[in-house]
Amino acid sequence: MAEPLLSLDDLAVHFKIGNALGGGIKTLKAVDGVTLDVKPGECLGLVGESGCGKSTLALAIMGLLPPTRGTIGVDGQEISGSKAPDRMRMARTVQMVFQDPYASLNPRQTVRRTLADPLRLHGVRDKAEVEARVMDMMAKVGLRPEQADRYPHEFSGGQRQRIGIARALILKPKLVLCDEPVSALDVSIRAQIINLLLELKDELGLAYIMISHDLGVVEHVSDRVAVMYLGRIVEQGGWQEIFENPRHPYTRALIAAIPDPFHRAAISAKAKARGEIASALNPPPGCHFHPRCPLKADICVSQDPVLAAVAEGHRAACHFRDRVS
């Protein structure tokens, strides 16, 4: 079995909120004990709603936020330990595609510069080689060579996202973290970008972490899926297991919430979650999902459920994981 490309072990990122004078300091447990790994060439879908900590998790993986607890290992090297992470090596291993293609490109840089600068920074000195790699990458993401000297505002949203993808791939990383890569795009453009990401994955042997709240997209692209709720992973497993045999009531609520006339009767209205997502500042005791859960019992309030196996490679953090069906 291949070594994992990325392994998170009990990762937690907490923030201190407020000040000592006004109401005291509170701890926001944005990510609270996440254990995950991603193997080379694999696509892990990360699903969750606002406040579940998926964006914080992404920033921690990228080395932009220090973990409070736990470790992050990238390509066999621990990035969060006592040794300072080697940013240059990290850059050549893990890259990121951002959600908003309008804010994620420097408005004062041409496409050529956006792609060529990182190459030069990482020691590609030969001008011809830089040029060749820039042109090659532009072709890969479906941009024409004559567009190299244009500025971001001359492109549409979909084209900008192509530039963002090219930038993420120019250093030939092994893992690309895609943070809601299509949710800011026009509906009719999304399929283009999803297809492109999948083609590039096969062509370049990339591994992805696909963060999305759109279950249709996640099911389409993922090999494995992890579902997050209020800083914790509540269920993870192979995509087919998660979508056809979800064992956590929250996963079922997510699936039930998808408005799709073709899919309407698949999971009954019972599965829908009630009420609102609690604040991560003040999560409910025990299972964080219990106030909204249709299966709530006393044990859910008093005890944290552990993420335990229900089948080969399929784990769920629910006291009733074996009874959900």
Q: How many CB atoms are located within 10 Å of the residue 69 CB?
A: 14
Phi, psi of 41 (to 5 degrees): 75, 5
Site for another protein in 191-220 (CB under 8 A): 191-192, 194-195, 198, 213, 215-217, 219-220
Closest CA to 46 of 240, 224, 246: 224
Residue with Cβ nearer another protein (69 or 220): 220
Nearer to another protein, 35 or 272 (CB): 272
Q: Please report whether residue 4 would count as binding another protein according to CB under 8 A.
A: no
Query: Is 17 near another protein (CB under 8 A)?
Result: no
Q: Which is nearer to another protein, 167 or 288 (CB)?
A: 167
Decide if residue 9 touches another protein (CB under 8 A): no
**Which one of 17, 25, 132, 266 is in contact with another protein (CB under 8 A)?**
266
List 13, 73, 80, 98, residue binding another protein (CB under 8 A):
98
To another protein, the closest distance from the beta carbon of 106 in angstroms equals 4
Give the residue from 231, 229, 228, 208 showing the smallest Cα distance to 220: 208
83 near another protein (CB under 8 A): no
- Residues contacting 222, CB < 8 A, separation 6+: 43, 44, 45, 210, 239
Choices 11-19, 21-29, 68-76, 261-269; region in contact with another protein by CB under 8 A: 261-269
Contact flag: residue 94 with another protein (CB under 8 A):
yes
Separation between Cα atoms, residue 206 and residue 15, nearest integer Å: 32
Residue whose CB is less far from another protein, 290 or 306? 290
Q: What is the DSSP letter of 125?
A: -
CB of 234 to another protein, least distance (A): 13
Contacting range for another protein; rule: CB under 8 A; set: 69-77, 164-172, 294-302, 305-313: 164-172
Among 3, 10, 81, 87, binds another protein (CB under 8 A): 87
- Please tell me the distance from the alpha carbon of residue 181 to that of residue 164, in angstroms, as a whole number: 10
- 8 A C-beta contact, residue 166 and residue 138: yes
The reply to whether 308 sits near another protein by the rule CB under 8 A is no
Query: Could you give phi then psi for residue 317, rounded to 5 degrees?
Result: -105, 75
* 1 vs 203, beta carbon nearer another protein: 203
Longest Cα separation, the chain: 68
Report the alpha-carbon distance of residue 206 to residue 212 in Å, rounded: 18
Separation CA 32–CA 288 (nearest Å): 12
Q: Restricting to residues 43-82, which ones interact with another protein according to CB under 8 A?
A: 49-50, 62-64
Could you give the 3-state DSSP secondary structure of residue 181? coil
- What number of H helices and E strands is found in the chain? 10, 12
Per-residue x/- marks for another protein, 268-287, CB under 8 A? ----xxxxxx-x--------
Pick the closer one to another protein by CB: 7 or 161.
161
Q: How many residues belong to the site for another protein (CB under 8 A)?
A: 84
Helix, strand, or coil (residue 237): strand
Please give the residues from 173 up to 192 whose contact with another protein meets the rule CB under 8 A: 186-192
Binding flag, residue 143, another protein (CB under 8 A): no
Is there binding between residue 118 and another protein (CB under 8 A)? yes
Question: Is 114 in contact with 138 (CB distance < 8 Å)?
Answer: no
Could you say whether residue 95 binds another protein (CB under 8 A)?
Answer: yes
